[in-house]
Structures are given as structure tokens and as C-alpha cells.
Amino acid sequence: DQQVKQNSPSLSVQEGRISILNCDYTNSMFDYFLWYKKYPAEGPTFLISISSIKDKNEDGRFTVFLNKSAKHLSLHIVPSQPGDSAVYFCAARRFDAGNNRKLIWGLGTSLAVNP
Amino acid sequence: EAQVTQNPRYLITVTGKKLTVTCSQNMNHEYMSWYRQDPGLGLRQIYYSMNVEVTDKGDVPEGYKVSRKEKRNFPLILESPSPNQTSLYFCAVAGRAYNEQFFGPGTRLTVL
């Protein structure tokens, strides 16, 4: 049961344009959402996050939007740069049965930004 | 500088030969986790630890052991590795709020 879904395995965008990466979730108990970026042969690195009580968070070229009613979040990268080419993971935080925090991960979207 | 280190980075071994992958952090964080990444399956949590001497199973714990005898180290132990444990392994560290995880550089393990 995939609670966090990234339905697009890959995305290709022209340099300078907007990249939009999408993430859907099924569990209304998630209270925090994160985006990570991963280059080949490296560990994932934190990119941006949003609390469930907000609908938007912005950090430079990166903006995350949260639509709680639709259980949908998206990451916008504007303008896209070739260095943004990486795999992007969406993750959602909740408490497990033992009241411990846990991150649930999507499968990732591979973004290619073409010069 | 916040760091999560893993060793070795690459390892080729044979079925049944016990191995340990080490993970160390300099952030004094409570949470440490081990993940494996496989094509089409994303990141799956193997084990996690909320503090010293406190560990629990993640989503795919079979065939793995961990220990947390001190806060900075969280080794992953494969007592009898099998080919289906060939994977890319990541150690991750998080603070009490668990609103961000810091990942190590990864260990590429091949079990023949």
C-alpha cells in the first residue's frame, strides 16, 4: 500500500522553464512533508519542507504547494537549471503505532533539465 | 560541519560471509535509520533507533541486525548475506523533531 505516490517516474524540462513535480498521499494523519534531491552515487539531501498547517513554502527557486483537501503536494522549480537534474523524493511524516515519528517515502521522480 | 559517514562505500562479498556496515554521525542526534534503495522500490527503511539501546524494525528488517551502544554509531550487520541483499544502503540521522533527515553517502553492496 503506497501511502505516498509520485506517479511520474521521470520528467524532462528545458533549461529556464518551470519544473513541476507532483506527489499524492492517502493518509490524512501526515503532519509534515519534505522533498529530497538525490544525485547518483550520493545520499539524498533535504531540499524543502512544509507543515500540514500551511499551503505554501518558498525557498529561492523552490516552492512547495500543499493542497490538503486533494491530498496533493507539488514542488515547483523556477527557473530550472541543468544542475537540478536529479531524482526527487517526496516524503511524509506521521506517528507510528508506538507513537514514534516515521517518514513514508515516495518512489521518486527523475528530473532531466536540458540545456 | 554536520556529517554522516558510512564505511565501506563499496563492498563485494559472497553468500554467508558475515559483514558489518558502519554509520557514524557528529550531530548528537537521537534518531538513526538504515534504508535500502532498489530500482522501482524507492527507499525502504530496514531498522531505526530512537536513542542508545533503543532499536526497532522498519519495513524490511529480515536478514539484518543493528545495535546502538553509543549515540554516534549505528552499525548494520548482515549475519549471513544473500544475493537478494544486493542493494544500495543509506544511513540517516534526524533530530528529535524528525523534520529533516541527513543521509550518509551510501554503501553499494553486492552479494555473490
Which positions of chain B have pLDDT values less than 50? none
* DSSP reduced 3-state for B84: helix
With an 8 Å Cβ cutoff, are B43 and A42 in contact?
A: no
- pLDDT tens digits in sequence order for chain A, 115 residues long: 679 999 999 999 999 999 999 999 999 999 999 999 999 889 999 999 999 999 999 999 999 999 999 999 999 999 999 999 999 999 999 887 777 778 889 999 999 999 9
* DSSP reduced 3-state for A84: helix
| Average model confidence (pLDDT) across chain B | 94
3-state percent breakdown (helix, strand, coil) of chain B, nearest 5: 5, 55, 45
Residues of B in contact with A43 (CB under 8 A): 4, 90, 92, 103-106
* Nearest chain A residue (CA) to B88: A41
Query: Does B27 contact chain A (CB < 8 Å)?
Result: no
Residues B32 and A55: their CA atoms lie apart, in Å, by 29
Nearest to B42 among A93, A100, A107 (CB): A107
Residues B70 and B7: their CA atoms lie apart, in Å, by 17
Nearest to B42 among A41, A45, A108 (CB): A108
Residues of B in contact with A44 (CB under 8 A): 43, 90, 101, 103
Residues of B in contact with A42 (CB under 8 A): 105-106
With an 8 Å Cβ cutoff, are B101 and A46 in contact?
A: yes
* pLDDT computed for residue A1 by the predictor: 67
The closest alpha carbon to B3, from B107, B102, B106, belongs to B102
With an 8 Å Cβ cutoff, are B4 and A43 in contact?
A: yes
Q: Which whole-number Å values give the CA distances from B60 to A68, A86, B15, B46, B48, in the listed order? A: 29, 26, 19, 5, 11
Residues B48 and A80: their CA atoms lie apart, in Å, by 35
Cis amide linkage into residue A82, ω under 30° from 0:
no
* pLDDT computed for residue B61 by the predictor: 97
